[in-house]
Amino acid sequence: MNLRRVSTGVGRLLAAGSLAATGLLVVVPNALALAAGQPLAGTAVASLGTALGLVVVAASAVLYRADISTRNVARVAAWNLLGLVVLGAVLLLSRSTIDAAVPLFLVASVLAVSSFAHLVIGVHDVLRIRAGELARERERLSVVNTLLRHNLRNEAQLLLGLAGAVEDAETRERIEAVGDRLGDLNDKARELQRLLDEPSDGEARDLSALVAGVVSTVRERHPDATFETAVPDGVSVAGDERLERVVRELVENAAVHAGDAPTVTVSATVEGGRVALAVGDDGPGVPEMEQAVVGREEPVTQLSHSQGLGLWLSKWLTESVGGDLGFAERDGDGRANSVVLRLERADA
């Protein structure tokens, strides 16, 4: 058992739980006051307190599941508690100067306003911190990406140059193949960066024409492969050059890795306002681990990771045009023989 992960999970639960507890703390007195009946002004105040308390409770569940760090969840909870403690202390001290008894629900409503306000402050604070972290992370990735691509290209050229000095033909061919793969990896990384940095043109694409063009191009490169398409006419999807690049990547990958004389299928089905485009083959399929990593169900580690950039490239580019990438599992062995793109229809 990973004790650090357990500790982090407990801390996250406690932070979110404290938010939920403060929300319930202000909801209960106001709900009881509403149930007992109040004048119009009292009903309005109790209703406001109840609503704000329920928002805080709901926010605790959202933050617990949100894709932010446990430290940031705790930061929001701390802001919320700060608001309650400070205002609670002020109300407690003010009791000595007020002769009339103040209804409990009125105090709870005031605390609800403070709790909600400090929840908003906490979320804004976390978003500000996260924006700074993302900017720094993007800068680091940009530097690393540039250096890696530069070094990959240099090493590939050096390797190909040295291959000419190797006398053994088989060894020379293997070295040249490695050099070519390094060069292709560099080119793919550069193209991915360019496509992600360019703004979308927002134009709709006819899916049938797009698939036909891609299949025609890939067929010329892989004459031994059989291509079968079943894409309905008259269906347009939101996409641009990035979508065409994804479809080409998946079709070419199927033709290359599905063995000798593979059969590659490209089919589309309309699902309301979306289109599911499936690219499959009769090869070994995508392993479960790779599906989990690309689907973000498993973290990327030295032991669990994707075998190449292809699926990641396809996933990122698909998401950049408003779609998502998934897998269709083959019966029995858990491996996927189809990659499925779910795209927004532009003609719906």
Domain identity same for 128 and 7:
yes
- Determine the Cα–Cα distance for residues 123 and 117; give it in Å rounded to an integer: 10
210 and 125: one domain? Answer: no
pLDDT score recorded for residue 301:
47
Q: How do residues 107-141 score in pLDDT, each as one tens digit?
A: 888 888 888 888 889 889 888 888 887 776 665 56
Residue 29 lies in a domain: yes
pLDDT for 54 equals 92
Q: Are 210 and 120 in a shared domain?
A: no
The reply to whether 178 falls in a domain is: no
Q: What is the distance of C-alpha 219 from the center of its chain? A: 33
- Residue 153 placed within a domain: no
Provide the pLDDT confidence category of residue 304 given band limits of 50, 70 and 90. Answer: very low
Amino acid identity, residue 109?
Answer: S
Query: Can you tell me the mean pLDDT for 83-104?
Result: 71
Q: Is residue 126 part of a domain?
A: yes
* DSSP per-residue string spanning 75-99: HHHHHHHHHHHHHHHHHHHHGGG--
Query: How does pLDDT run across 250-276, given as a tens digit for each residue?
Result: 898 888 877 778 888 899 999 888 899
Amino acid at 328: A
Give the model's pLDDT for residue 155: 65
Residue 324: predicted pLDDT: 87
How many domains would you assign to the chain? 2
DSSP 102: P
Helix (H) or strand (E) holding 5: helix 3-36
309, 192 contact by CB (below 8 A): yes
Of 135, 152, 172, the residue at which a domain comes to its end is: 135
Residue 348 predicted with pLDDT over 60: no
- Mean pLDDT in residue range 67-87: 85
Same domain, 214 and 338: yes
Q: Are residues 14 and 91 in the same domain?
A: yes
25 closest CA partner among 52, 2, 1? 52
List the 324-329 sheet strands across, edge first.
Answer: 226-230, 263-271, 274-281, 336-344, 324-329
14 pLDDT higher than 80? yes
- Pairing type for strands 236-238 and 204-206 reads antiparallel
Q: What is the span of the domain harbouring residue 109?
A: 3-135
What gap in Å lies between CA 289 and CA 297, rounded to an integer?
9
Lowest mean pLDDT among 199-203, 226-230, 343-347: 199-203
Query: Which CATH number fits the domain that encloses residue 213?
Result: 3.30.565.10
Helix, strand, coil % over all residues of the chain, rounded to 5: 65, 15, 20
Instruction: Render pLDDT for 51-73 as a digit per residue (tens, 0 to 9).
Output: 998 999 999 899 888 888 888 88
**Element (H or E) spanning 157, and its range?**
helix 104-163
Helix (H, G, I), strand (E, B) or coil at 269: strand
pLDDT of residue 182 exceeding 80: no
pLDDT band at 219 (very low <50, low <70, confident <90, very high): very high
